């Protein structure tokens, strides 16, 4: 923890204004999405509006959390290579307040369209009434997410603090006030570095544990309970590991795009792409493993209560979607990312990250929609759904851009001095 590498030169490079046209388009799309959502829920079939809102809530919350958990996991395992990528992943933290708001919108206003057990009198549902009731669900989700989001922000804050301390004099306006606030009470470089490391060492494992617990509960409440008599012990783990994978993929996309825009090739080197690619590859295989572990046991046991979930997703209208999920989250990235070349070339790296992210969206769609609407007349994805999804994406990106405008997009303090690991086993 001796003298740290301070790269003020990086700050000059990344201090570029944002493309106003792009932001305007995103804002328009967000408005269009909001309008589409309002017209859907006030139209003749409000449930479709609520369902797509719910799906997107799960997708973008999952991505944001997955990316932040990646930084915590990398910190815990002392993965020095992730330093330059850290901020790209941390940026998703700005979506969390929005996600929290959307959670309340769902449980307060959308509950009758989302939770089929509310009016159900099935004896199996009655048996779990002690858990599946609206007050308890609202409370545990609202409280759990709050704790999770606050911890996430606290963890990201510890990462920002030393950087903002160094650059705050060069900032103006809102950025300056944020920097002042976050770096307030500085105790001197040496003492601060030790103290920050201590805080991070405590926050990181807590954050991972809270993530696991809260997202497991969320997976049961917001997804498993949509098929109220279905249950699977692995589902929680499957759900949060999927979100972790999507966080990696989103980080990869952000890394490629931002590195290119700001000319950071000397900071984010090939070996970073290689390592991130390996992680995406590995967790995509791991996703397939969890999928298979769950599928095999249910298929082999062949108990109606358990197979109902899979049977619906094999209905003709859903079958191709289910296959596409498997292709996008496993088979395509598996064969695509298997070579070192594909992992290290930004274009292919990003291509497969996009495939994984898209796969993650259709996976969450496939987990939610067939439970609520098992036999629709036509595939329930029309222009309204598209607009809501794009609106969500725009809000998500706007939050990310806001973060990247407020804070430096690469760590200024504490990057390793050289391209540190000569890929140990090349």
Partner 1 sequence: MAVTAAPKRLADVFRDINRDILATLDAPGPGYYLLLAFVVSLVGLGAFAFTYQTYWGLGVAGYAPPVMWGVYITNFVFWVGIAHSGTLISAILYLFRAKWRTSVNRSAEAMTVFAVMTAGLFPMIHLGRVWKFYYLFPYYPNRLTVWPNFKSPLIWDVFAVSTYLTVSSLFLFVGLIPDVASARDRCKDWRKPFYTVLSLGWQGTDEQWRHYNRAYLFMAALATPLVLSVHSVVSWDFAVSIVPGWHTTIFAPYFVAGAIFSGLGMVITILVPLRKLFNLEKYITVDHFEDMAKLVLVTSTIVLYAYLVEYFTAWYSGEAVEKASTWWRLFGDYWWATWTMLICNGIIPLLLWFKKMRRNLMVLFIISIFVNIGMWFERFVIIVTSLAHEYMPSMWRYYTPSWVEWSILIGSFGWWAMYFLMFIKMLPVVSIAEYKELMAREAEEAHA
Of the listed pieces 3-11, 85-93, 249-257, 284-292, which binds partner 1 according to CB under 8 A?
Answer: 284-292
Closest distance to partner 1 from the beta carbon of 426 (Å) = 9
Compute the least distance from the CB of residue 219 to partner 1, in Å.
Answer: 11
Interface pick for partner 1 out of 251, 259, 294, 371 (rule CB under 8 A):
294
- Contact flag: residue 389 with partner 1 (CB under 8 A): no
Nearest approach in angstroms of CB 208 to partner 1 is: 9
The residue within the footprint of partner 1, chosen from 121, 173, 233, 316 (CB under 8 A), is 233
118 binds partner 1 (CB under 8 A): no
Among 5, 19, 293, 319, binds partner 1 (CB under 8 A): 293
**Is 301 a residue that touches partner 1 (CB under 8 A)?**
yes
> Judged by CB under 8 A, does residue 214 bind partner 1?
no
CB atoms within 10 A of CB 305: 13
Tokens of 268: 């984010």
Kindly state the smallest distance separating residue 357's Cβ from partner 1, in Å.
Answer: 24
- Dist. CA 238–CA 291, nearest whole Å: 7
C-alpha–C-alpha distance, residues 52 and 37, integer Å: 9
What is the number of residues in the chain? 426
Q: How far is the CB of 25 from partner 1 (least distance, A)?
A: 41
CB-neighbour burial class of residue 138 (10 A; exposed 0-12, middle 13-18, buried 19+): middle
- In the complex with partner 1, which residue's Cβ is closer, 220 or 350? 220
- Give the whole-angstrom CA distance, residue 341 versus residue 277: 10
Round to whole Å and give the CA distance between 386 and 175: 34
Cα 331 to the center of its chain, rounded Å: 21
Decide if residue 421 touches partner 1 (CB under 8 A): yes
Q: Cβ distance 59 to 364 under 8 Å? A: yes
Cβ 409 to partner 1 shortest distance, Å:
27
- Binder of partner 1 out of 209, 311, 323, 386 (CB under 8 A): 209
Work out whether 311 is an interface residue with partner 1 (CB under 8 A): no
CB neighbours of 9 closer than 8 A, spacing ≥ 6? Answer: none
Q: Where are the beta strands (DSSP E) in 170-275?
A: none
Contact call for residue 379 and partner 1 (CB under 8 A):
no
Query: Whole-number minimum distance, CB 420 to partner 1, in Å?
Result: 9
413 phi, psi to nearest 5 deg:
-110, 135
| 259 is a site residue for partner 1 (CB under 8 A) | no
Q: How far is the CB of 36 from partner 1 (least distance, A)?
A: 36
Which residues have a Cβ under 8 Å from the Cβ of 236 and sit 6 or more positions away?
Answer: 215, 216, 217, 219, 220
Q: Is residue 121 involved in binding partner 1 (CB under 8 A)?
A: no
Listed residue (332, 307, 386, 409) closest to 33, CA to CA: 386
Does residue 123 bind partner 1 (CB under 8 A)? yes
Q: How far apart are the first and last CA of the chain?
A: 29
Torsion sign over Cα 286, 356, 343, 212: negative
The site for partner 1 (CB under 8 A) is made up of 77, 123-125, 127-128, 131, 209, 212, 216, 220, 229, 231-237, 285, 289-290, 293-294, 296-298, 300-301, 303, 305, 418, 421, 424-425
């Amino acid at each position: 923890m001796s003298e740290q590498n301070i790269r003020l030169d990086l700050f000059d490079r990344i201090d570029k204004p944002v493309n106003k046209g792009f932001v305007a388009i995103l804002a328009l799309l967000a408005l269009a999405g909001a309008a589409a959502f309002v017209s859907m829920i006030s139209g003749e079939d409000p449930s479709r509006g609520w369902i797509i809102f719910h799906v997107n809530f799960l997708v973008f919350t999952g991505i944001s959390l997955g990316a932040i958990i990646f930084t915590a996991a990398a910190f815990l395992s002392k993965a020095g290579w992730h330093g330059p990528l850290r901020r790209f992943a941390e940026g998703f933290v700005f979506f969390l307040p929005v996600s929290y708001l959307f959670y309340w919108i769902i449980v307060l206003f959308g509950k009758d369209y989302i939770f089929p057990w509310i009016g159900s009198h099935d004896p199996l549902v009655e048996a779990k009434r002690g858990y599946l009731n609206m007050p308890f669900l609202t409370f545990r989700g609202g409280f759990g997410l709050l704790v999770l989001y606050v911890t996430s922000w606290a963890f990201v804050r510890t990462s920002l603090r030393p950087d903002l301390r160094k650059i705050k004099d060069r900032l103006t306006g809102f950025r300056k006030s944020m920097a002042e606030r976050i770096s307030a009470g500085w105790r001197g470089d040496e003492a601060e570095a030790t103290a920050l490391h201590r805080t991070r060492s405590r926050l990181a494992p807590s954050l991972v544990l809270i993530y696991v617990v809260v997202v497991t509960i969320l997976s049961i409440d917001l997804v498993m309970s949509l098929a109220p008599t279905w249950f699977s012990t692995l589902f929680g783990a499957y759900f949060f590991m999927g979100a972790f994978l999507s966080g990696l993929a989103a980080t990869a996309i952000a890394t490629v795009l931002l590195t290119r825009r700001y000319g950071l090739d000397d900071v984010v080197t090939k070996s970073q792409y290689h390592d991130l690619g390996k992680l995406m590859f590995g967790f995509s295989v791991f996703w397939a493993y969890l999928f298979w572990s769950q599928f095999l046991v249910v298929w082999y046991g062949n108990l109606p209560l358990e197979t109902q979930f899979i049977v619906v997703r094999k209905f003709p209208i859903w079958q191709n979607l289910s296959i596409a999920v498997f292709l996008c989250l496993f088979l395509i990235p598996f064969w695509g990312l298997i070579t070192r070349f594909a992992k290290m070339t930004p274009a292919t790296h990003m291509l497969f990250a996009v495939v994984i992210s898209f796969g993650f969206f259709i996976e969450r769609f496939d987990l939610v929609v067939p439970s609520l609407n098992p036999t629709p007349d036509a595939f329930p994805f029309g222009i309204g759904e598209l607009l809501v999804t794009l609106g969500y994406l725009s809000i998500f990106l706007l939050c990310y851009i806001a973060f990247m405008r407020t804070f430096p997009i690469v760590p200024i303090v504490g990057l390793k001095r050289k391209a540190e690991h000569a890929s140990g086993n090349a």
